[in-house]
Amino acid sequence: MTIAQATPTLICVAPNGARKLKHDHPAIPITPAELARDARACADAGAGLYHIHVRDDQGGHSLDPDRYRAALDAIHGAIGDRMILQITTEAVGIYDVATQMATVRAVVPPAASFALREFFPEHFDEGILRDFFGWVADVGVVPQFILYTPDEVSRLRSLIATGVIPFDNPPVLFVLGRYDDGPESDPAGITAFLKAWRDDGHWTICAFGPGEIAVAATALALGGNARIGFENNMSRPDGTPLGGNSEQVAHVAAIARALQRPLVTHIPERHRRTAGETVNGALG
């Protein structure tokens, strides 16, 4: 692995997550209007992708299509096409795979993230998921597969090889750390993920806790992309609270500029491609 210069980089923002509320940090954006304001600030700071969670009336995690449409409309109204808008399908122990798929079919978002372990448990219906991801490719929803261990990277490669996932080289997100208390995220953890993936892959990494910036900087130096935001971390490296998501975006953008990596707001076409067919869509 060598330091990558001049390769464009995508700064992604996960602004709120499924669990955190105003008592965790007053700047957590929850409502469509708050998300729109936060997205505009993040776009101004250099972000290129916005990863959206929506909440119910009590602040709980929701996959309600109408709530997603309201958030997407508000954000798009504030920033236009300046960032890729990605919805989450995260289950949070509440939703089953059928509901996760139904949400994506109802919303047809520009992009969506899929946790491999949620969509492909030990026993899964291959036919249903093959059909669903075939539809994702056909309508042009840009997928991102969330991977928590190097073993999951290898499993994703197997699902691609057998055609269950009809994307030859999809965007992936490597996750360091967990929501629960544990050891601080270490940039060294990137190595095992990269060994299991492919040299020409479009990969992004996120990290829990104040080690977020060190992990992001290492990812950018190695040619990858970084996801930051209050979903995973609300503190500066010294432990003091961040002022908002855009503060961390500006920090990562400065690192990218120092590495001579221009900021982009799209996923390269070769990573939005089915086996032999270009995915239709307006991203990039």
Evaluate whether residue 2 is within a structural domain.
no
- Which is more confidently placed, 276 or 217? 217
User: Lowest mean pLDDT: which of 54-58, 61-65, 120-124, 138-142?
Assistant: 120-124
| 178 lies in some domain | yes
Judge whether 233 lies within some domain: yes
- Give pLDDT tens digits for 191-215: 999 999 999 999 999 999 889 999 9
Q: What is the pLDDT of residue 91?
A: 96
Q: Give the pLDDT score at 4.
A: 54
Averaged pLDDT for residues 54-65: 96
| Strand partners for 115 | 146
Kindly report the CA angle at 93 between 212 and 159, in degrees rounded to 5? 75
Secondary structure (DSSP) of 121-168:
-SS--HHHHHHHHHHHHHHTPEEEEEESSHHHHHHHHHHHHTTSS-BS
Element (H, E) at 201: none
227-273 pLDDT, tens digit each: 999 999 999 989 999 999 999 999 999 999 999 999 987 776 656 54
In the predicted model, what is the mean pLDDT of residues 216-221?
96
Mean of pLDDT over the chain: 90
Instruction: Give the CATH number, domain containing residue 117.
Output: 3.20.20.70
Cα 231 to Cα 15, 18, 167, 178, 212: the distances in Å are 6, 8, 27, 11, 11
Is residue 284 assigned to a domain? no
Mean pLDDT value of segment 37-46: 98
- In the predicted structure, residue 275 carries a pLDDT above the cut 50: no
Contact 30, 59 (CB under 8 A): yes
Does residue 97 belong to any structural domain of this protein? Answer: yes
pLDDT above 70 covers what percent of the chain?
90
Across the range 139-158, mean pLDDT stands at: 96
Q: What is the largest CA-CA distance in the chain?
A: 49
- For residue 185, give every residue at least 6 positions away whose Cβ sits within 8 Å of its Cβ, in sequence order, or none: 176, 177, 207, 208, 209, 211, 212, 214, 215
Read off the pTM.
0.92
Residue with tokens 């954000």: 75
* Residue 51 clears pLDDT 70, i.e. is over it: yes
Tell me if 111 is assigned to some domain. yes
Output b/e per residue, 209-223; b: 16+ Cβ within 10 A: bbbbbebbbbbbbbb
pLDDT at 161 over 70: yes
Q: Is the separation of the CB atoms in 281 and 140 below 8 Å?
A: yes
**What would the mean pLDDT of 61-73 be, rounded to a whole number?**
98
As for how many domains the chain has, the answer is 1
Helix (H) or strand (E) holding 72: helix 65-79
Q: How many CA atoms lie within 13 A of 155 on its CB side?
A: 16
Partner residues linked to 150 by β-bridges: none
Considering only 67-71, 86-90, 175-179, 209-213, which range has the smallest mean pLDDT?
Answer: 175-179
Tokens 């798929």 correspond to 101
Q: 276 pLDDT band (50/70/90 cuts)?
A: very low
Strand residues in 14-133 grouped as ranges (E): 49-52, 54-55, 61-62, 84-88, 111-115
State the pLDDT at residue 184: 65
Residues 5-29, mean pLDDT to the nearest whole number: 93
Cβ(143)–Cβ(136) below 8 Å: yes
- C-beta atoms surrounding 205 within 10 Å: 28
* pLDDT above 60 (res 282): no
Q: At what angle do helices 97-107 and 65-79 cross, to 10 degrees?
A: 40
- For the stretch 164-196, pLDDT in tens is 999 999 999 999 987 665 556 788 899 999 999
**Structural domain boundaries, residue 236:** 11-271
